[in-house]
A and B are shown apart, each in its own frame.
Chain A
């Protein structure tokens, strides 16, 4: 997801301006010249200036173009499609899924779903994905819940330990 510098730069200008404005609006501490408002103000202005510089291409000459080393023996090139880029959003989406569902469904089932989806998305066949889906959540549950005493949600499938 490579965006033009102009876009990211202008986004930073907006972010910086918002931060500076938000900081400026914070209530000052009575009887004190500097309060919680100064730091965000300084940072917001700095960020906005950086964003401007980036949008105008200043400092671009320092960037080294990343050298992409082709694998020897050539793995197949990634298929390119319109929706292919959206696959990258799968991991954070799964984490949010965990947040929403874990309390009700329980750790083991939620983790199993996450493992299965990630493994299949990375091209695992069912022979590999299935044992992993069953094994990994149980082992992780054992380590975190039993050994490290993290209170993981029990949900629908309580573990015998």
Chain B
């Protein structure tokens, strides 16, 4: 254990890792703070760069950029009432109300301080949860993997802030995309329409870049430019944060824990964590009437929550290759490319790399405090960059980056196509995160499903035979039945009240 820890230290204390991490942090802070550019997009555009780095340095850039971007989304939220990333949307109003009361320092300080605390709590959960779960997962057969994957997909549809039917449809679209290509149980070309470029299937990373980056540029074409930020001087950023930590200790921990749980759930990421935690904070607060008028309590809880979910989202990713959120979906792609194939054996065979990942998360979250403060002070300059300078650069990066992934121009076509798909889906209320999850997990679901079917000779019963698979099956089916029951209940209730009223 100590040996592995020392090895892990050796892995991360190289110049390559340190420089990559610093650069990725600055990149994440800038992209996260620009409204309309999300943390997922920041991470997706980073992937081509990670190709040319060593495995640990590649993971370091992903970890640093995603953690920083989730925090720095709070900055324009507090100063402009426009969340920089969706994860900050839940409390942007509250933070802006604080700024108007003259408490901008307190709001931004709470953002950076509790983000760091949440991130470290999330990392601890990753360190504590993952190894024992890996022990259990070692005994999993394809039946368990099938149900687990299905449960993951269902979770993603349950937590979407949209119609669950549309979320499930989005998931099916993603699975259908993953069907394309030759990588299937029969090894026959499937849905390739005779195109050789499609034989290899659709790469998840260009699809992600299209859905999260190109679609965003498309939206920018139709929305007005956000107003420029007023120039201002800030007082001490961290003053009063320790008092807040003591005063709202319980809220902070509740935020951490909710964030961890939501992060572990597949498909549900930082934005969901922030919404749930903010709502919970309001619900259990002693002063709920103060919420919305510039009250720091919700900021503490939700700010901790969204960063906690970033780290804990790696738990299912590392263990099963099931992404905990869209950022983790990208991380999985990078892990595969770097020979760190997700799976329970990762924790025994590549233990030093795992420790290195834990250390990277902790370092990234500690670095967040000084870098975050610098970023807050520079925010009025960075946020002055007009959209018309940022978006063109992103367009070119999309083209070059997607080309670089396979040195193949077809990647650029994929990005363009998924930009359109993502834009149309988003505009019509279909959650794109569900589709992304379907694309990433499709091959795994199919493999587990078909292998299980072959093993069981076409019978369904063995899917429920083993105890763990029975539990997982119940949960997966429950996740599907639950919205149906809620819908029926909502349908029947107005009917019942309508029937009851005339009799009175």
- Which residues of chain A have a CB within 8 Å of any CB of chain B? 1-3, 5, 8, 12, 15-16, 19, 22-23, 26-29, 32-40, 43-44, 46-47, 50-51, 53-54, 58-64, 69, 71-73, 75-78, 84-85, 87-96, 98-99, 102-103, 107, 111, 114-116, 118-124, 128-129, 132, 136-137, 140, 144, 147-152
Contacts and interface: CB of A to CB of B under 8 A. Distances in A.
A88 to B, nearest CB: 4
Contact of A95 (B175, B214, B222, B388): B214
B389 A103 contact: no
B429 A63 contact: yes
Given A61-B487, A77-B224, A91 B454 contact: no
B200 interface: no
Interface residues of B, number: 79
Contact of B188 (A26, A64, A132): A26
B393 A136 contact: yes
Interface of B: 48-49, 51-52, 81-82, 93, 161-166, 168-169, 172-173, 175-176, 179, 184-188, 190-191, 214, 217-227, 386-389, 391-393, 395-400, 403-404, 407, 409, 412-413, 415-417, 419-420, 423-424, 427-430, 446, 449-450, 453-454, 457-458, 483, 487, 490
Contact of A26 (B161, B186, B392, B454): B186
Contacts of A147: 52
B222 A78 contact: yes
A28 B186 contact: yes
The interface centre, meaning the residue of B220, B226, B392, B407 with most chain A CB atoms within 10 A of its CB, is: B392
Given A2-B428, A47-B172, A92-B416, A60 B400 contact: no
A132 B390 CA distance: 10
B388 A60 contact: no
Contact of B450 (A39, A72, A118, A148): A39
Contacts of A54: 163, 165-166, 169
A77 B225 CA distance: 10
5 contacts: A27-B186, A34-B450, A38-B453, A62-B162, A123-B388
Given A36-B190, A44-B176, A88-B222, A122 B387 contact: yes
The interface centre, meaning the residue of B185, B214, B226 with most chain A CB atoms within 10 A of its CB, is: B185
A69 B81 contact: yes
A61 B165 contact: no
The interface centre, meaning the residue of A16, A23, A58, A98 with most chain B CB atoms within 10 A of its CB, is: A98
Given A12-B169, A140-B397, A148-B49, A71 B221 contact: no
Given A75-B225, A95-B412, A64 B162 contact: yes
A119 to B, nearest CB: 5
Contacts of B165: 50, 53-54, 58-59
Contacts of A116: 392
Contacts of A102: 399, 409
A55 B297 CA distance: 42
Contacts of A62: 162-164, 483, 487
Nearest to A50: B169
B400 A152 contact: yes
B186 A92 contact: no
Contacts of B417: 92
A75 B220 CA distance: 14
Contact of B163 (A3, A63, A136): A63
B370 to A, nearest CB: 26
Nearest to B220: A122
Contacts of A119: 388-389, 391-392
Task: Name the prevailing secondary structure of the B interface residues.
Answer: helix
Contacts of B403: 150, 152
Nearest to A116: B392
Given A47-B172, A58-B165, A95 B81 contact: no
Given A88-B219, A92-B419, A150 B400 contact: yes
A84 B224 CA distance: 13
Contacts of A71: 81-82, 224, 226-227
Nearest to A94: B395
A135 to B, nearest CB: 10
B163 to A, nearest CB: 4
A52 B155 CA distance: 22
A96 B176 contact: no
Contact of A1 (B52, B184, B427): B427
Given A114-B392, A132-B392, A136-B393, 18 more contacts: A5-B428, A8-B430, A12-B173, A34-B453, A34-B458, A38-B453, A59-B163, A62-B163, A62-B483, A63-B166, A63-B429, A71-B224, A72-B227, A95-B412, A111-B400, A115-B392, A140-B397, A144-B404
A132 B450 contact: no
A145 to B, nearest CB: 9
A122 B396 CA distance: 15
Nearest to B452: A34
Contacts of A28: 186
Contacts of A61: 487, 490
B395 A114 contact: yes
A34 B223 contact: no
Contacts of B173: 12, 15, 47
Contacts of A40: 176, 179, 190-191
Contacts of A39: 175, 179, 184, 446, 449-450
A137 B218 CA distance: 21
Nearest to B193: A22
Contact of B218 (A16, A22, A34, A88): A88
A82 to B, nearest CB: 14
Contacts of B424: 1
Given A63-B429, A71-B226, A91-B217, A29 B388 contact: no
Contact of A59 (B164, B227, B386, B412): B164
